């Protein structure tokens, strides 16, 4: 679209990444990091909407406010000959309609699934939607299931599984417990200070490393810390724990969720979507350098983390 109307697509790709990363905070299943943390604290889809979605809205509002300043060239560009643009046609309108029905069905189950007589978890809903989408693709003969499964990023999935195994090893060997003890000495029982520091620390680290392995490592660390500091019972460390954490410690996990998601906007290597956008840009003849992304990303990430830190303090800590 950018090439057709004569606009540089690099800033638009970067903008799309910012919105995608930030909008991941709008729902429990919007980003892997939010789901991992949400699953650890057993928060429902609806509870997430009422407690935490507004932080994602704030992050998107920050992007909207900065558009005229960070993206000056495309913001002020005059478009010409728009009446001569060729509008693409839909090749499979019926399949599109069925696909939209499947999407609406999945989104509805995300909201009400856990309140049904037989609760359905968000993970189950996602797998159900994926199965229906595969069946639709097979039935409409748009693409074969084998081709779709071949395109799945299996290396990334194996990487995530390996990270879980690594974190399990660190827990068994006592490394996580030792680090949580140091955290307890530094923070004591000061949840407000701990939440803000975790937000900023995780946000900074997440701009340098992918947020998913970071969150996988941080969740058991924070869990062990609240137990070591006497803020939660030791039962929360059980792998099959299905109860609720004490409300007083939840801001620590909320801060980690916000920091890990928004910090990814800071640099080119901060999130997987950043790397994907850079790869797409290079395929079309323009390379997004680390410096180019940083000039856009650092101000956005800084403003977003600051705004969300204020929201976190006023909403949960004040």
Domain ranges of the chain: 2-92+153-317, 93-141
Is the separation of the CB atoms in 204 and 197 below 8 Å? no
Categorize the per-residue pLDDT at 214 as very low, low, confident or very high, splitting at 50, 70 and 90. confident
CA distance linking residue 281 with residue 12, whole number of Å: 10
Other beta carbons less than 10 A from residue 197's beta carbon: 17
The structure tokens listed for 34 are 């939010």
Q: What is the pLDDT of residue 15?
A: 94
Q: What value does the mean pLDDT take over residues 122-146?
A: 88
Q: What is the pLDDT of residue 1?
A: 79
CA distance linking residue 157 with residue 300, whole number of Å: 29
Q: What is the pLDDT of residue 297?
A: 94
User: 């956005």: which residue's tokens?
Assistant: 300
Q: Is the pLDDT of residue 134 over 80?
A: yes
Q: What is the pLDDT of residue 5?
A: 78
CA distance linking residue 254 with residue 256, whole number of Å: 5
* Residue that wins the pLDDT comparison between 7 and 51: 51
CA distance linking residue 277 with residue 298, whole number of Å: 17
Q: What value does the mean pLDDT take over residues 164-190?
A: 78
User: 């724990």: which residue's tokens?
Assistant: 241
Distance of CA 241 to the CA centre of its chain: 24
Helices 290-312, 191-206: axis angle to 10 degrees equals 170
Q: What is the pLDDT of residue 156?
A: 65
Helix ranges (H only) for the chain are 2-5, 9-23, 32-40, 45-51, 53-70, 72-75, 93-112, 122-140, 145-151, 154-172, 175-187, 191-206, 211-228, 250-262, 272-283, 290-312
DSSP conformation class of 27:
S
Grouping H, G, I as helix, E, B as strand and the rest as coil, residue 76 is coil
The structure tokens listed for 313 are 């303090």
CA distance linking residue 150 with residue 141, whole number of Å: 16
The CA-CA-CA angle for residues 227, 182, 247, to 5°, reads 30
Percent of residues, the chain, with pLDDT higher than 90:
38
Return all residues near 3 (Cβ < 8 A) that are at least 6 apart. 9, 284
Q: What value does the mean pLDDT take over residues 161-179?
A: 77
Specify the pTM: 0.80
Q: Is the pLDDT of residue 313 over 90?
A: yes
Grouping H, G, I as helix, E, B as strand and the rest as coil, residue 283 is helix
Q: What is the pLDDT of residue 205?
A: 85
The per-residue pLDDT for range 220-242, each reduced to its tens digit, is 889 888 888 888 888 888 877 88
Task: Determine whether 205 is exposed, middle or buried from the number of CB atoms within 10 Å of its CB (0-12, 13-18, 19+).
Answer: middle
Task: Determine whether 141 is exposed, middle or buried from the number of CB atoms within 10 Å of its CB (0-12, 13-18, 19+).
Answer: exposed
DSSP conformation class of 112:
H
Q: Please write down the long-range contacts of 286-292, taking CB distance under 8 Å and 24 or more positions apart.
A: 286/9, 286/10, 288/10, 288/13, 288/14, 292/10, 292/14
Grouping H, G, I as helix, E, B as strand and the rest as coil, residue 164 is helix
Q: Is the pLDDT of residue 60 over 90?
A: yes
């Amino acid at each position: 679209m950018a090439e057709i109307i004569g606009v540089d697509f690099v800033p638009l790709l970067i903008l799309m990444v910012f919105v995608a990363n930030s909008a991941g905070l709008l729902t429990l299943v919007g980003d892997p990091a939010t789901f991992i943390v949400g699953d650890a604290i057993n928060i429902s889809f609806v509870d997430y909407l009422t407690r935490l979605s507004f932080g994602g809205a704030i992050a998107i509002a920050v992007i909207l406010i900065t558009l005229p300043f960070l993206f000056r060239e495309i913001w002020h560009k005059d478009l010409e000959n728009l009446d001569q643009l060729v509008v693409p046609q839909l090749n499979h309108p019926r399949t599109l309609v069925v696909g939209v029905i499947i999407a609406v069905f999945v989104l509805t189950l995300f909201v009400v699934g856990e309140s049904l007589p037989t609760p359905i978890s968000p993970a189950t809903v996602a797998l159900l939607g994926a199965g229906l989408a595969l069946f639709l693709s097979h039935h409409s003969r748009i693409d074969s299931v084998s081709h779709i499964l071949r395109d799945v990023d299996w290396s990334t999935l194996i990487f995530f599984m390996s990270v879980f195994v690594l974190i399990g090893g660190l827990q068994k060997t006592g490394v996580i417990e030792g680090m949580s003890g140091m955290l307890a000495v530094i923070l004591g029982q000061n949840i407000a200070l701990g939440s803000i520091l975790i937000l900023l620390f995780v946000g900074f680290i997440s701009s340098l490393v992918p947020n998913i392995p970071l969150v996988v490592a941080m969740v058991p660390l924070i869990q062990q810390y609240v137990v070591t500091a006497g803020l939660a019972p030791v039962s929360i460390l059980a792998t099959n724990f299905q109860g609720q954490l004490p409300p007083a410690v939840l801001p620590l996990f909320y801060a980690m969720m916000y920091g890990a998601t928004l910090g990814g906007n800071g640099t080119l290597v901060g999130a997987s979507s950043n790397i994907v956008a850079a790869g797409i840009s290079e395929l079309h003849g323009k390379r997004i350098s680390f410096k180019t992304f940083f000039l856009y990303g650092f101000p956005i990430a800084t403003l977003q983390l600051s705004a969300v830190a204020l929201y976190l303090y006023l909403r949960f800590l004040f």
